[in-house]
Amino acid sequence: MQRMKVLSPLLLAAMVVLIGGCDAPAPRSANTAEQAASPQKKEEDMSELKPPSADSVLYFIYQRDGDGAVSYQVDGGATVSYWYGHAFDLNGKHYFTGFGAKSQGEGPEGDDGMMDPEHVAISQATFTRIEKDGKVEWSKPDTDGYVGEFGRMARPEEIDTSRKAQSHATGDGRYLLAVPTRDFTNGEEVQSFALFLFDPDNVDKLRFRQWGYVGSVPVSRENSAACDDSQVMPCVASTGSLTFEPAGEGLPRLKVSSKGTTIASPGKVREMTAADAVTYTFDEASEHYRQ
């Protein structure tokens, strides 16, 4: 195996700050120390803890120093990049997860060809907020270089910054995250949610560890770039919403409700109604949500 590159002084400093928390405080008077111990002061300290940086997330996952970059090549010609970060609370703990993506490499140190060459492998680093010696800091992360794969043309799904992520905590201690994404192909823009399941206590028997990618569901479509004012094909546009429908303590059903227009038959368009709502359920065999 190739020897790990020596870390730059800048990244070494970043690692110390990330694991060690904030800089050591100046000496305090007894009165100042009492204020720091108060619940109000503790809440203020916790709110000031910044998320781990994108380049440090990639370093923890891939053990390669990118000199501050958030996308770079590693052994075998693969490209790794930071994809998305998410902070959340579950069962009394506060977490931050940074997701990365890795394209399929080539050559003797590349991937073994099991992954779809159009896809990227999704990875993750999950940090837990802890208190140590009176300071609030991030724990050393749990990491996994493969929690599923998705994307197109060896690129991950594009984050849709116009929408917010949604989430649902299950009764058995798991956490379902829906990340808003978008894609544009053949003149049609499709807005979707990429779904990730967090299982810190190994409640389920799925093959992935703490995190797993469990599919993507489309919610909105519009084809204005291709329809040419209905000269080429009917112009349609719909917007949808995603809701979680709890099913006992397990994973919820997902309901996509849309409004707008859709193609009714060749050359004809109709308004969408409540009957066009689509429900997705989790399929254990494929470990994905299916219609």
Sort 285 into a burial class: Cβ within 10 Å, 0-12 / 13-18 / 19+: exposed
Q: How many C-beta neighbours within 10 Å does residue 39 have?
A: 7
Distance CA 66, CA 156 (A): 19
Residue type, 67: D
User: What is the 8-class DSSP label of residue 7?
Assistant: P
Distance CA 243, CA 258 (A): 11
242's tokens: 């995603």
Distance CA 219, CA 267 (A): 23
pLDDT category at 15 given cuts 50, 70, 90 is very low
To the nearest whole percent, how much of the chain has pLDDT over 90? 64
Strands in the chain per DSSP E: 71-73, 79-90, 93-103, 120-132, 135-138, 142-144, 149-150, 158-159, 166-169, 175-185, 188-198, 211-222, 237-245, 253-265, 268-271, 278-283, 288-290
Q: Which carries the bigger pLDDT value, residue 154 or residue 82? A: 82
User: What is the 8-class DSSP label of residue 234?
Assistant: -
Rg (CA), the chain: 22
Which range among 48-52, 111-115, 205-209 shows the weakest confidence by mean pLDDT? 111-115
Q: What is the pTM of this model?
A: 0.80
pLDDT score of 113 = 53
Distance CA 145, CA 208 (A): 11
pLDDT score of 177 = 98
pLDDT score of 35 = 37
Tens digit of each residue's pLDDT (9 = 90 or more) over 55-105? 999 999 999 989 999 999 988 889 999 999 999 999 999 999 999 999 987
Mean pLDDT of 218-223: 95
φ, ψ (nearest 5 deg) of residue 85: -125, 140
Q: Which carries the bigger pLDDT value, residue 30 or residue 86? A: 86
Residue recorded with tokens 């370093």: 59
CB 149 within 8 A of CB 83: no
pLDDT score of 6 = 40
